[in-house]
Every structure is written in structure tokens, then in C-alpha cells.
Structure 1
Amino acid sequence: MQRGSDRLSRHRDDEMKHELQGLLRSGHPTRSEEWHDPEPTAEDDPAIWGGPVAPAGASLETVRLELARILGRSSFPATSMELAHTLRRKNAPDALTEAVERLPRKESYATVQELARTLTRREGA
């Protein structure tokens, strides 16, 4: 039974499923007009789109960007335990949260740059 709260009609929903079948089956765009396809990633785009960022294999810039995206400015200054708690609360990737939890408990971080620098230095060593 239709309740009238759907944004699209049942027929339009079926049309959209049919349009996406080729993409879902092949794993790549199937349109003949390139302008319909999403724009490919640029070489200088951050690697965040590829999955969770782990400090062990990521650059300082990538770790800083991911931390800033999740934590924001209001989280600082804070200790590693406070930051780890905030990361867990905001559903950050486990690899990032666990790396922050391994930092010394009493040490305080004033900025996301300082935290990212400490994480990449520790994980790289």
C-alpha cells in the first residue's frame, strides 16, 4: 500500500534501478556520453576517498586532514585520552583511534597539526 510519502513513484524507482544495472554489474560507467560520468579523481586529491586513514602508511598532510575533519577546532587543547574518546564518539576509523590511544596519556596537544606530527613520527619509527 502506498502512503504517499515516497519522493519518487514506483515507476520512476524501477527506471532508476534499470539505469544503474550496467554500472552495478560492470563496476565502471557504461554511458556513451562522457559528460554523464562523474569526474575522475585528480592526482593531488587526498587519499581519504580510498578508505580509512591509518597513520602508519599515510603522509602528514593526509593524517592532519582526516583528524581536522573529524575533530574540528573545539577539541583542542586536549590529552590523547580525551582525543581518543572524541574520535570514538564521532565514529572515526579504528586505526586512527587506536593510534591516538597509544600516545602517552598525560601529554596534551594544542593543535591538530601537533597531534598529526606526533602520530606520523611515532608510526613511522
Structure 2
Amino acid sequence: MQRGSDRLNVHRDDEMKHELRGLLRSGHPTRTEEWHDPEPAADDDPEVWAGPVAPGQVGASLETVRLELARHLGRHAFPAGAGELARALRRRNAPGALIDAVAGQSRSHRYENVQQLAEALVA
């Protein structure tokens, strides 16, 4: 069903798809300006690109766990207990392993900031 809001007709749309098919399947950047392409990861970047960092994982240092927590929790989440922080992580769609690690902490302890929480998770 045509609504009449298309700028191009069906034939021109199919023609444009055919013209772009090779570029999109080539695996190469399709932009003419190099500055449009995303930058590769630097050597000193944390390895978050390999997947979510969870406490207890190999290579999960204090810095990477703190970075992952800070990505999902803001300053307004603190001070809070483990249950409150786990709920905040769930609301922000954090990785399940990170939520489970936070939820497994002592319910009686309150964390003042991300640093305290990260130290408790890595210890």
C-alpha cells in the first residue's frame, strides 16, 4: 500500500539499492572522508570492547570494574546498599554478571561511591 509520502518511486528505490549493494557488502568503509570512520582502539584503552567486564573475570582489574560500574551508575545512586545498587543496574540494563556480583555483596554495608563498591567487588 502506497501512502504517497515517498520521495522516490519503487523503481528508483530498487535501482539505488542495487547501486549500493557492492559498497555495503565490500567490508570496507564506504565514506569518502577518512575522518568519518571510527577510530581503532588505543593500546591503553580498557578492554571493554571484548565484552562486559565482570568481577572475578580474568583481567578484571580495579580500574576496569570501576569503569564498568561508572558507565551504569551515576553519582545520584550513592550512598546506597547492594540491593539498591543492583536494582539501579537492572534499570540501566547493565550486564547480568555485574548485577549478580553487586547483588551478592553484604546487604548491611552501604557504599559511598563507585570506588568503594569496585574495591569490594574486586577483593
Scaled by the length of structure 2, the TM-score of the pair is 0.77
Give 3-state SS (helix, strand or coil) of 1:43's partner.
coil
Distance 1:61 1:13 in 2: 48
- The residue correspondences of 1:8-23 to structure 2 (distance < 5 A) are 10=13, 14=17, 15-23=19-27
- The residue correspondences of 1:24-35 to structure 2 (distance < 5 A) are 29=28, 35=34
**Amino acid in structure 2 at the alignment position of 1:20:** L
Determine if the alignment matches structure 1 residue 82 to structure 2 residue 84.
yes
For these two proteins, the number of residue pairs brought into alignment is: 113
Cα distance change of structure 1 residues 91 and 2 upon mapping to structure 2, 3 Å threshold:
same
Structure 1 residues without counterparts, runs of 5 or longer: 24-28
Give 3-state SS (helix, strand or coil) of 1:74's partner.
helix
Cα distance change of structure 1 residues 98 and 19 upon mapping to structure 2, 3 Å threshold:
same
Distance 1:120 1:13 in 2: 53
Distance 1:3 1:79 in 2: 56
Greater Cα radius of gyration, structure 1 or 2:
2
Provide the identity percentage: 49
Determine the structure 2 residue equivalent to 1:98. 100
Give 3-state SS (helix, strand or coil) of 2:76's partner.
coil
Structure 1 residue 4: Cα displacement: 3.6
User: 103, 106, 109: which is aligned to 1:107?
Assistant: 109
Distance 2:65 2:16 in 1: 40
Structure 2 residues without counterparts, runs of 5 or longer: none
Distance 2:21 2:109 in 1: 53
Cα distance change of structure 1 residues 4 and 40 upon mapping to structure 2, 3 Å threshold:
same
Distance 2:16 2:51 in 1: 30
Determine the structure 2 residue equivalent to 1:26. none
Scaled by the length of structure 1, the TM-score of the pair is 0.75
Cα distance change of structure 1 residues 30 and 94 upon mapping to structure 2, 3 Å threshold:
same
Give 3-state SS (helix, strand or coil) of 2:115's partner.
helix
Determine the structure 2 residue equivalent to 1:67. 69
